[in-house]
């Protein structure tokens, strides 16, 4: 049974001298070390299964204007003329293959471009469900997120938001708790400070130092299999107290 990803790989890797690397967590297809297509699933929480291809700016605008249900201007690379194609809809896969080939021609040396033609494809045999696109929507993860969300939103002046597609909670403008997925595990990320970070990660395997923000005193708590709500409450409140303004703490302490 072929998947959307299988079909994308077939379309791109059938073209001469193409290869695939993982860049920023997404499959990136290149010819002679130059990218012409990127495959994204739920990129920063957009709930899309998409292929980004390198096209001319005027062609990008034509596609987006004529068929906005299928095409969109992607972040980061959209200003360079790239266009996003939604793959989980009913756009014909031969059309997707033809557009990918056009992106390849735009990127590849002329000596390669003259030797090939669009890949013939019938498309995948299945589409992706909402939970496959965004696993945070699964019943299991919603049951984890629900109590954390209720706890955080019960604190003074807290709002919910998305941070790189992950549910996060802010005390005013500052994030103090995030729920995210990594390698099919669900984590609560909170600030504990460097001293407690060392203590927690040294003696409790549920805790780990996250990339990017770990050096500032944050930890990830694995909440996939079991959640100690009293422990979570203490950790969340301590993180909140670190970032909250004095007026917020005054309200909290008056409860």
pLDDT reported for residue 188: 98
Of the candidates 9, 89, 18, which has an alpha carbon nearest to the alpha carbon of residue 47?
89
Residue with tokens 């997925």: 181
**pTM, whole model, 2 decimals?**
0.85
Q: In what order do the strands lie in the sheet with 71-72?
A: 18-23, 26-31, 34-41, 49-53, 83-86, 71-72
* pLDDT of 87: 96
pLDDT of residue 125: 81
Q: Which two tokens stand for residue 26?
A: 């997404």
> Do the two domains 4-130 and 135-253 of this chain adopt the same fold?
yes
Q: List the domain boundaries for the chain.
A: 4-130, 135-253
Ranges under pLDDT 70 in the chain = 1
pLDDT at position 180: 96
- In this structure, CATH architecture of domain 4-130: Alpha-Beta Complex (3.90)
pLDDT value at residue 122: 81
pLDDT attached to residue 1? 63
Residue 144 and residue 26 in contact, taking contact as beta carbons nearer than 8 Å: no
- Tell me if 87 sits within 8 A of 93, measured CB to CB: no
Question: What digits encode the pLDDT tens for the residues 62-104?
Answer: 999 999 999 999 998 999 999 999 999 889 999 999 999 999 9
CATH number of 135-253: 3.90.1150.30
């Amino acid at each position: 049974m072929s998947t959307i990803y299988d079909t994308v790989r077939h379309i791109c890797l059938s073209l001469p001298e193409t290869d695939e690397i993982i860049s920023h967590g997404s499959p990136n297809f290149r010819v002679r070390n130059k990218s012409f297509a990127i495959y994204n699933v739920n990129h920063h929480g957009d709930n899309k299964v998409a292929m980004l291809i390198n096209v001319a700016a005027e062609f990008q605008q034509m596609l987006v204007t004529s068929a906005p249900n299928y095409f969109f201007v992607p972040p980061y690379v959209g200003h360079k003329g790239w266009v996003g194609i939604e793959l989980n809809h009913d756009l014909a896969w031969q059309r997707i293959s033809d557009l990918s080939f056009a992106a390849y021609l735009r990127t590849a040396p002329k000596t390669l471009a003259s030797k090939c033609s669009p890949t013939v494809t019938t498309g995948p045999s299945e589409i992706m469900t909402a939970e496959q696109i965004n696993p945070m929507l699964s019943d299991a993860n919603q049951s984890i997120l629900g109590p954390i969300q209720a706890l955080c939103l019960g604190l003074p002046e807290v709002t919910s938001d998305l941070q790189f597609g992950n549910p996060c909670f802010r005390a005013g403008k500052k994030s103090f708790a995030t729920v995210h997925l990594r390698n099919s595990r669900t984590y609560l990320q909170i600030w504990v400070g460097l001293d407690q970070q060392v203590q927690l990660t040294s003696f409790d395997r549920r805790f780990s130092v996250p990339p990017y923000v770990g050096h500032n005193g944050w930890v990830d708590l694995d909440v996939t299999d079991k959640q100690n709500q009293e422990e979570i409450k203490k950790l969340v409140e301590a993180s909140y107290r670190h970032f909250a303004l004095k007026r917020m703490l005054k309200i909290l302490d008056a409860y």
